[in-house]
Every structure is written in C-alpha cells, then in structure tokens.
Structure 1
C-alpha cells in the first residue's frame, strides 16, 4: 500500500518484499523460498472474505490482482465518492506511447502465479482508483511536483494505512476468537537471563530460527514482534501483546547459561484467555563453537512440537472445533484441519462429512493447495478402503492424483501436497516416484514428523526396515500425540524378527476404530504368543473391515507390501485363527 501510494510500484517485487517484510537477506531465491507467493495468496483470500462479510459496505475495495503484488482500488457500487482531484502530469516524451491504465494494471499472460517482476505501471502517472460501475477514475497518489495533490495523497495514505491495519487486526481477532482460520502466532524475542556473554546471542538466534522453522508449516501464520511490544512486562504483558496484535497464540521464551549448560524455557499462550497451553524446558550442552547448530536444532525441535499437523497448536484448535457443528460451508482451513483429525483413525463414519467439506472448499477456493492435497488423500482413501460405493479403485486413484498434482503445481514447495502426491504414487505402484516425493517433503521441512513418518512407512513396507524404522521412531519421538499408523510398520518389523511380545504391546497401544490392520496385528501377535482370548477378541473386531476379511493377501498388497511381508502376515493370521479356535 505504502509503495503504491507513493508511486513506487516498481519496488513491489518478490525479492524486495521478502527482504523488507519477511527479513530475508540478499541470498533470497524466490524459486526456492515461496514465502512471498504463499502470503500473497493468503492475503487475497483474506481480502475476498473481508469484502464478502465485514467489509461489504466499505466505500473502497482494495485487491491485489494475481500476477503481481501491486494493489488496485475501486469504489464499490453505491458508495459515496469524493470529487476528483485535477492532477498535472508531465507529458510523455514523443515517440514513446504510454500504456493505458487497463493494460498497465493487468498481469501479463506469461506470468503464472506471482513473479518477481510486477505488471508494468507508468512510474510518473497518478495511480488510478477504478470504479466497479465503470465511471470516471479518481487519483489517490500524486506525483511529487504537485504539492496540493500530494497533500491529498498523504491524507488518503494515512486513512488507508489505518484501514488496512484495522482490517488485519479485526480479521486476526475474529480468527483467534472463533478458532476457525489458519491460526496466527506471534513469536516474541526470547529473553536472556543472567549476564553470560553468549546468552543474548543465543536468545536472539533461537527466536529467529524458530520463526524460520515455523514458517515452513503453511498452516500457521507467523508474525514477528513489533518494536512497540514490551517483552519484559511479565505474563500479563505478553498476553496483552497477543491481544493487541490480534493473534491466536503467543510464543515466548527465556535463555539462561549456567556454566557449560544452556537452559531454554518456552511457553505457548492462548491470547484470548492468557492460559498457558504448553510449556517445556530444554537443557543443552553449551559449546561456543557450535552455537549456530544448537540454536538451529533446538528451534527445529520446538517448532516440530508446536506446529506439526498433530502438534500442540493443531490439537488446541481441534479441541475448540469439537463442539462446533461441522458442515460443508465451513472455512477451507477448517476442512483441512478436520481432514487431519479424520486421518488419525481413517474412520468410515468420519469420511463422508470431511470429504464433502473438502469438495466444497476446492470449489470455493480452487487455488488453495492444502485443500486440494487433502482432497487427493481422501480420494486415495476412497479407493484403498472402499469408502465410496460405485467408485472403482482405479478411478479413485486417478482423481486423487489429479487433485494432488494440481496442489503441487500451485505450490511446488508445499510439504502437505508433496506428502499426498508421494502417497498416491505409492498406491498407484510408482514406488520410486513416491519415495522421491516423500524425500523432497522431508528435505523441505525436516521438522515435520509426519513427513518423516510418511517416508519411513513407505521404505519399511517395501522391505527396507533398516532405513524406514529409524525414521518412524524419530517421528514418534518428536510428536506429542502421534497417529497410531506411525506404529504399524514398527509392529510388523517386530513380527518379522520374532519379537512377538514387543509386537503385541505396540499393537495393543495402536488400535483405532477405523483401521482394521490394527486389530489384525494384535491378533497375529496373540497367535504367536498362544493367547486365545486376545486373538479371538481381535479377530472379532477385525470382522467389520470387509476388504481385509475377504482377501488379506490382496489387502496387504494393495498397500504396497512386499511378497515376503504379505506371506508372513497372512500366515500369521492363519495361526491366530487356529489359536482362537483352540486348535
């Protein structure tokens, strides 16, 4: 807004925004770091939502057309308008025709998504305000030489700046109180306790690294603290800072150095109530030569606990939504969050409303990669679990592939989209491509335990237990409440190595209503241990899962298991049936 109203639209490029807004340095690469494109898409969605609801009566509508980052302004129909201001514009040099305003504001046809070079805008011409009813145009930013017009431009700048700030605050506050938007988090600078020389450096480094790691999770909106916020005013001041900034959550921390040990404390606050949702302390050896590694690794660990799909923030938002009636009209982000909740258990009963909600979300917001990725995953579930009657498996997989591929095309660095497309390729028998995409997701966000688990599961089910199991164990260790399927291949690894008691224990702790394989693994372990009661109960519960009961071998192959694993599991089920029958 400020650059546009001052006539400096040539500065509105991806690189400049990344450096001045998001704190990137001169090494920023727009193709490797999509932060500007992602935030621009979110801003467009927020603006659209605002003018549909709270801003529908605003006289002035602000938008940012796709293809660039230059905002446009238009009077909404029926709104009161100021009189036009005459502006003296220096004539263009002869022989150099000036493009008209319509062509100047439109993105170029060859610009896909938001490029680093914005649409061409004549640098010396006044910025137009376009009327939606096709009427005459009104300038809002005036060339520096016209003093009177410049004063009016500054007045408009002040009004619009306040309006945009109020818009952002109101949107964020509504989001925080309702708990139905992508949650906004502000990271306050960590405070250094004591007088240790390395303390302030370590505190500043962890704060910045934490912001960087959190921003790798697209489901969070991450903000840095404005200079006006007092971080030394105690708990009340921290909570008030969150409320004033209009965010849902506040993250704060302290760093103390005692001898050769760094002690870091972290807290997550609910900005609405001041409640401490989560807190943790970390003791780490302090090696001055490895301070950079320490702050990076610790920030990654904290971000993983807080921001992963099944982390502290998602769980808190999910708890708020538990009492909310769920239908297809809910916000797109809520549909994605509900899909994560469904994917903990793959419940047949939970599938239809989540599927319908995602279909509506994609219709409403066709450029939202997270919704497309999740819809792809649910089409995959429809095929492999037979959740949609009348939809052949092959067609379900093709629809899944189409949705997830579009998500990746919209945002090649979207970890959720890469995970979904990797999984879909695996189930389509393209194991090498599935593994490649899964590795790419891990490389983009090694702090995401779900990305680690996806890759580990895929490697293990193809018989590469030595590579896959450590990844699954690492994902579990970095998760507050991991989904039960993280344990399934670990259980199978125990079985393949004759560790039946360990298999039984981990399988009994990984039972979920919607996953028949959980009961199958319990039954197999009980059969090997000679436990008829446990085997009988597990087999009875397994009877409700049609595909698994009809043809266990085909069911295991459907998930990409190797012949060795399929033969071992089917033999284990036969043994469980014999033990349950007392024979």
Structure 2
C-alpha cells in the first residue's frame, strides 16, 4: 500500500536489514549493547512475520533474560528502553540518517517497528541536517518549506524527514535562544526573559476547559494552581502567573516561556495536554499528553499527580530547559548559564566539561555570593572530584571533601529550603561517613521538592546504600520512570537494588542498561554481578577494561566499596562477586 509517497510494503528484507546494520554501525546511534539487541530483535522478528508476538513479555525474555515470572507492571525495563530507543532513532535520522531511503520507527503504543520507504528519494533530494540547522534557518523557513511540499503532492515523500528536521531545529533554536538571552544587565530584563539572578521566567497560563461544565472548569483551575505550586519549588526558574508590571504600568519582564495546556473529561478519565512555548516566536519546544482514571485515586489526588508529572517534565534537571552545549556558554558567568554548564558537564562527564563548569561556577559565586543555587552546584562539582575521581582523574582528598561540605552548608544557610543545596549537603555528609546527617539532609531535600528527579534519585541511592533498600529502591525506580538524568546514571542504582535482593539476572540487565562509560565504578558493579552469575568470560572482558582504562581503581576496590555500602553484609556480597570474577580484593 502506498500513501503520500511512502511505501510500507515495497522494501525488501535485504534493504531493511542493510538499514538496520547502517543504524547500528553509526556513531550517531549512541545506545548500550542491550538496547541495540532490542532494536535488532524487533526488526528481525517483524521481518520474519512475527510482529504480533512483540509484546513486553516476549521482549523481556528474549532480550533482557527475564523468566516466566516477568511482570511488566512491576518491572518497566522494556517500556523504558523502548522510549530511549525511539529518541535515539529520531536523533539518528536528524543527523547521520538524513539521506537514508528507509526510515525505521517504533510507534508509541507498541514495540513492532514500521519501515517507511521514501519513494524515489535520493541523497540529493533530502535537506541535510546541517543546512536545516544553519544560522539562517528559523521557524518561518521551516513552515515555508513544509508548505511548499504540501502544495506538490509528488513531494509528500519528504514529509517524515522535514518534520524530523523541523523538530530538531526547534529544539536547537530553543536552547540557543535560552542561552543568548542570558547576556545583559538587569536593565534589559524585558528583552532577556530572565528574572531574579538571571533565571529563566515561565508564565503559567490557566489550562483551558475543552469539555465545558463546572467540574471540568474546577479541575482546570485546580490543575493550574497545582502546577504553579510544584514549579515554584524548582529554584532554577522563576514562575509568574501574570505579566509583571513596573510602577509606570508597563510590562517590566517578558517571560521566556509560557506553559499552556487543556483539560478534558471523558467519563471517569481525566485527559490533559501540556506544552512549553518559547514566547519570542511562539515555537512549541515541548508537548505531551497525560491520562488518568479519576476513580483510582479520586479527583484531587489525580489532579495533583498529573500536575506533578507536568511540572517534573518541564523543570526537572537534565530536562528540556537544561539541554545545551557546554562550548556555547563557556566564559559566561550569570547564574543560569553556569547552571546549564553544570548539567551539560554531568551529561558528558569529561575532564574538559568539568573544568568549564567549575570555572563558570567559581566566577558566578564570586559575583553572586548570596545565590544558593550556584553555591550548591559548586559544592557538587567539588564533590565530584572526590566521588568520580577515577573518571575525572582527580585526587579524592579530605581537603576536597571538606571544601565541598563547607560550600554545601553555606548554600543551606543561604536558603534552608533549597532542594539542590540540601542535596549537596546530603552527598557531602554521606561521603564524609556521616549517614545519619546525610539521610536527614536527604529527607529535607525530598520534602522540599519531591518532583525534582535528581533529588529523588540521589536520595534513593543514599537510602539504599545505607541499608534501607526497599525505600531507596522505590525512589530510584520512580526517578528512572520519569527519565531522570544523566542518561544511564540511575540504572546502575537499579542494578544494585536487584543484586542486593538476590535477583542477579535482573541486576545484569539493569547494569547493562546503565552508561558503563560514565564512571569506572559502573563497570565494577557489572563485574561483581557477572562474577556472582559465574559468567567468567564476560567478567574478564570488564576486568580487562578496568585494568586498561582505570588501573588506579583496582588497589582501592575495598575502600571504594566500604565507603559506599554501609552494611557489612552488603559489602560482603559485593566483594564476593568481585572475587568470583577472578580479581583478588586487597
């Protein structure tokens, strides 16, 4: 069947297989081996005529090694990896795959891939990503291009790629606009869209009632209020509900973003849409739909739950407002630029990115010594030199830890309810071998902003490693389910959770889903798991990597394990796996 120049039947198995190999071998396809196997499995099964069998249960068994007791409701590994795979396929077609004839996608709502064939397309027919993202391209040009295609039915074959390119350009423009608006003095706030201490300002508009009726009207008003209440807990942003006015009555601040949405009632179902709009050009830089059955929790809790999901998606660390390129903002010292620099560094986890973010934050603290957020992030970046020393090639000294703790305490003094400051204090106390103080600060951080996925994830990790595995692992699982960043970071926590409860197969799955190159300690976790499973050959591969890339870790394994795992029985279990893998622990 052919429609609009796209043929979903004509592609031969050989063509699809070649496209699969092209994707898997591309540098732009940046996923761990297990996710690659996910893609390979669903494509192969579809080509073999077994697409109807591609359910979460089947994939969990064939790809992730789950047994017959697998429960997709309790273990979201397939759903999480499917979401990650969809995002990475989109990235591939925005970059290396811009000229490919066959497009492989996995539509939401299932796991069976679709193979779109661009009829008659040649590389010259496709607008290259670098051309679409050139400085002269703007939203109007994108619309003009798509309008031109729409007028010529023969050119509709280009739709999928133009939309991908348009989406990519919007995201890039959003990041660039957020960065460019950092420059300037307080006197130009109306143009920059930045509020107090150069934080981005969001105006929350009342959600529309598209159903009519008093109940929907009450819910739309309540949803808006709940979203505002949850957004204001994120210290990195400024939230307003109306255009601020100067004494003369003129608008004194032009918000950078607008959060808009709607509410619809369909029986017992509450359906809401939300979108984040860049006000400078009305470009939608993020949008999502949310559904919930109000009979499960009742109206107030359902309303609050959806509001929390929306607030988290908009303002969470490593989310849409914090996606940027470190090099673009290097040298700037306003608070928000340094915050962007920090999150970019944590995503990259390289020595260079660390130095850029550290220098920015040091200068920002000198200029804004009373800004709790930048002091807290400076504390965290010093702490990283202690806890990520093998990755950053730093020395984990007592002086480094002491400075991080001093900064964290000062950040909390500046703002006792700042979740990021309390998170920094929690981590500093934890690595200073004071678990009671660490968990106290963590509890305060989580109470201050439970929708901050980084706070929830880090608090969950500290609870777990302190021996409170059930409580901690629940928080880690929730953070992973909300796409907490950095990518592949909290999955290693899920691996430890599974390992300590004796589910070594699930532990291996989660460990391989983590970013093994983020920190050599992630490799050490996988090594212990493989040793416990008796997988000597695979364990040797991980051990060879550690010997080659991080030899300084080997003589310090016992020290690193005991500094992280509080209970003796947890330490023994972990070190026993290392020994079983063939490495004698000193």
Change (3 A) 1:184 1:465: same
- RMSD between superposed Cα atoms in Å: 3.2
Q: 2:270 aligns with which of 259, 262, 274?
A: 262
Is 1:361 matched with 2:364?
Answer: yes
User: Which residue of 1 is the match for residue 412 of structure 2?
Assistant: 408
Q: 2:496 aligns with which of 492, 495, 512?
A: 492
Helix, strand or coil: the match of 2:185? helix
CA distance, structure 2, for counterparts of residue 367 and residue 331 of structure 1? 13
Is 1:168 matched with 2:189?
Answer: yes
CA distance, structure 2, for counterparts of residue 429 and residue 331 of structure 1? 34
Q: Is the 8 A contact 2:191 2:253 kept in 1?
A: no
Which shifted more, 434-443 or 527-536?
527-536
Helix, strand or coil: the match of 1:218? coil
Is 1:293 matched with 2:310?
Answer: no
Q: Is the 8 A contact 1:250 1:269 kept in 2?
A: yes
Helix, strand or coil: the match of 1:283? strand
Helix, strand or coil: the match of 2:225? helix
* Cα deviation 1:399-443 (Å, max 9, x = unaligned): 111111111111111110000001101111111111011001111
Helix, strand or coil: the match of 1:475? helix
Is 1:557 matched with 2:562?
Answer: yes
Q: Any stretches of 5+ residues in structure 2 without a counterpart?
A: 1-180, 246-250
CA distance, structure 2, for counterparts of residue 406 and residue 48 of structure 1? 27
* Cα deviation 1:202-248 (Å, max 9, x = unaligned): 111111211111111011121214499xxxxxxxxxxxxxx997332
Helix, strand or coil: the match of 1:536? helix
CA distance, structure 2, for counterparts of residue 448 and residue 578 of structure 1? 39
Q: Is the 8 A contact 2:226 2:304 kept in 1?
A: yes
Helix, strand or coil: the match of 2:581? helix
Q: Is the 8 A contact 1:186 1:223 kept in 2?
A: yes
Q: CA deviation at 1:567?
A: 2.2
User: Which residue of 2 is the match for residue 110 of structure 1?
Assistant: none
User: Which residue of 2 is the match for residue 210 of structure 1?
Assistant: 227
User: Which residue of 2 is the match for residue 566 of structure 1?
Assistant: 571
Change (3 A) 1:337 1:560: farther
CA distance, structure 2, for counterparts of residue 353 and residue 403 of structure 1? 19
Q: CA deviation at 1:491?
A: 1.0
Q: CA deviation at 1:353?
A: 2.1
Q: Is the 8 A contact 1:255 1:262 kept in 2?
A: yes
* Cα deviation 1:161-180 (Å, max 9, x = unaligned): xxxxxx431231xx59xxx9
Q: CA deviation at 1:188?
A: 1.3
Change (3 A) 1:537 1:182: farther
CA distance, structure 2, for counterparts of residue 246 and residue 406 of structure 1? 32
* Cα deviation 1:319-373 (Å, max 9, x = unaligned): xx3551523x432322222223333464344322222222111112111111111
CA distance, structure 2, for counterparts of residue 266 and residue 479 of structure 1? 17
Q: 1:577 aligns with which of 556, 559, 582?
A: 582
CA distance, structure 2, for counterparts of residue 181 and residue 513 of structure 1? 34
Calculate the TM-score normalised by the size of structure 2. Answer: 0.62
User: Which residue of 2 is the match for residue 50 of structure 1?
Assistant: 185
CA distance, structure 2, for counterparts of residue 362 and residue 196 of structure 1? 51
Calculate the TM-score normalised by the size of structure 1. Answer: 0.62
Q: CA deviation at 1:379?
A: 1.9
Is 1:341 matched with 2:344?
Answer: yes
What does 1:182-581 align with in structure 2 at a 5 Å threshold? 182-226=199-243, 246-286=254-294, 290-315=298-323, 318=324, 321-322=325-326, 324=328, 326-327=330-331, 329-344=332-347, 346-386=349-389, 393-479=397-483, 481=485, 483-543=487-547, 544-577=549-582
Q: CA deviation at 1:48?
A: 12
- Structure with a larger share of its residues in helix: 2
Helix, strand or coil: the match of 1:222? strand
Larger Rg: 1
How many residue pairs get matched? 396
Q: Is the 8 A contact 2:326 2:341 kept in 1?
A: no
Q: CA deviation at 1:302?
A: 1.0
